[in-house]
Structure 1
Amino acid sequence: MAKKSEGPEISRVSRPRLYEQLVAQLLDFIAAAELGPGDLLPAERDLAERLGVSRATLAQALVALEVLGVIDVQHGTGAVLVYRPNVPAVIKGLREHRSRLPEIVEARSTLEVKLAELAAARRTDQDMRAIDAAIDAMAEEVAAGSKGARGDELFHQAVTAAAHSAVLGQLMAFIAEMILETRLESLGQPGRPEQSIASHRKIADAIRAQDAKGAAAAMMAHIDMVSDVELLK
């Protein structure tokens, strides 16, 4: 008896992740409210209530939209709409961003660990002042209520400069835009800005002590920590 054909295989439809569903809801809300570029979104508490989600969950979706450039989250003002995209385009962008994250983390763990090691061996007193100033700048930002993204960027730039490696510096500049994606994503995690500052201080202490192995280990631990983001779960 001939075996009954089972027919062609049908690929399973992937279930949208929670943040994708919430992003779609946010964009629907923006369209229904007829918000345009430059308009301010409602406060997080109000928006979370309207959407029926926790503020923590909403914050993750807002970070995703900020990474994609759809909104600009300004301290003291709130989330400002930059442009109104369609839902499919944003979801596609989110999925592409998520697929890039592991490779960005891989690149950072390769380059920045070596840069921290070299910085410990080659740093000057002026380099240390720049590193310390960057940590102070981030601490001031966070104390004022922001994520500290600018201070975080300054810190990693200062460590790169302290390594005195032109080629590695050029490579870091090349992936700077991609690192910005992971920076915004990471600093949007609850408590992460404060954890990053503490992590930066450990790296700085090792560089100050000219402990190359310690600096490399501290930077690796830092990258592991900042790479723990919701989009990779």
Structure 2
Amino acid sequence: MADSLRPVTRPRLYEQVMAQLREHVDGQGLKTGDRLPPERELAERLRVSRASIKQAIVVLEVQGLVESRHGGGVYLRADTLDPEPVAALVERRRRLPDVLDAREALETKLAELAALRRDDDDLDAIEAALEVMGAEIGDGRLGEDGDRLFHAAVTAAAHSALLAEFMREIGEQIAESRHESLQQPDRPARSLTQHVRIAAAIRAQDPAAAIAAMREHLETVRRVRLLSWNPDED
């Protein structure tokens, strides 16, 4: 019989700081756009080092819950601080590079084939996806549905059953990488602009330009706060 007992671990200090910040936000009734107390004040009130405060803020940034503005403090991007368990973040950080490698390998080829094989119905689906994403961003949302529809339309336009099956197999991981990217500050509008470039190359039946535009887009997707976070710092 497998032993289910595991070593007991203490919460990292920055995890305790995050719990205190969550209570502060709830207790003070803070909302999206409100500013958290300065790092120095938090360190003094919680009696911890500023390094622990900084790490707690980084973890909240990774999850899109706060935004650090250079020289301007830390502001809420949500009405409550309800972070994921750190263990879940660590696991996502571990698998994300492999997911992004797979996306680049598959989606650059899909963009190339879409430029060569697309028909009028495919172009209509791509354009409809861009409109959905634009409307979502205009409403202040991340544009995740439109992003999903766009990449699905490009996949369909490639007319490759096997590549489409590969994309379905990693659909859950792709959705995770999509959310990770689009929650970065100012990322949704940039992503939409890149989608427009990909669509233009496919419409022009220019496979080289489609590959380049998709690769540029996926390089941007790679630039997420999660991958620069060191979970072992305290």
TM-score by length of 2: 0.70
CA gap of 1:61–1:166, structure 2 versus 1, over 3 A, is same
Query: What is the rounded CA distance, in whole Å, between the counterparts of 2:96 and 2:218 in structure 1?
Result: 12
Structure 1 partner of 2:47 = none
Structure 1 CA distance, aligned partners of 2:16 and 2:207? 46
Question: How far is the alpha carbon of 1:43 from its aligned partner?
Answer: 1.7
Cα pair distance change 1:81/1:214, threshold 3 Å: same
Residue in 1 that maps onto 2:69: none
| Distance in 1 (alpha carbons) for counterparts of 2:107 and 2:16 | 35
Which sections of structure 2, spanning at least 5 residues, go unmatched?
1-11, 43-52, 67-77, 229-234
Q: What RMSD, in angstroms, separates the aligned Cα atoms of the two structures? A: 3.2
Asked whether the 8 Å contact 2:31–2:80 carries over to 1, the reply is no
Q: Which residue of 1 aligns with 2:50?
A: none
Written as runs of structure 1 = structure 2, the 5 A alignment for 1:16-165 is: 21=14, 25-30=17-22, 32=23, 42-46=30-34, 48-49=36-37, 60-63=61-64, 90-165=85-160
List 4+ stretches of structure 1 deviating above 2 A: 23-30, 44-54, 56-65, 78-82
Task: State the TM-score, normalizing by the size of structure 1.
Answer: 0.71
Distance apart, 1:48 and its partner CA: 3.3
Partner of 2:6: none
The answer to whether the 8 A contact 2:111-2:155 is kept is yes
Aligned to 2:177: 182
Identity, in percent, stands at: 41
Q: Within 2, Cα distance between the matches of 1:24 and 1:172?
A: 39
Deviations 1:198-231 (A, max 9, x none): 1001100000011111111110111001211111
Answer yes or no: is 1:200 the counterpart of 2:188: no
Gaps of 5+ in 1: 1-15, 36-40, 66-77
Alignment partner, residue 3 of structure 1: none
Contact 2:144-2:179 at 8 Å conserved across structures: yes
Q: Is the 8 A contact 1:59 1:188 kept in 2?
A: no
1:212 correspondence with 2:212 = no
Over residues 137-157 of structure 1, what are the superposed CA-to-partner deviations in whole Å (9 max), with x where a residue is unaligned? 101110110111111111001
Matched, 1:169 2:164: yes
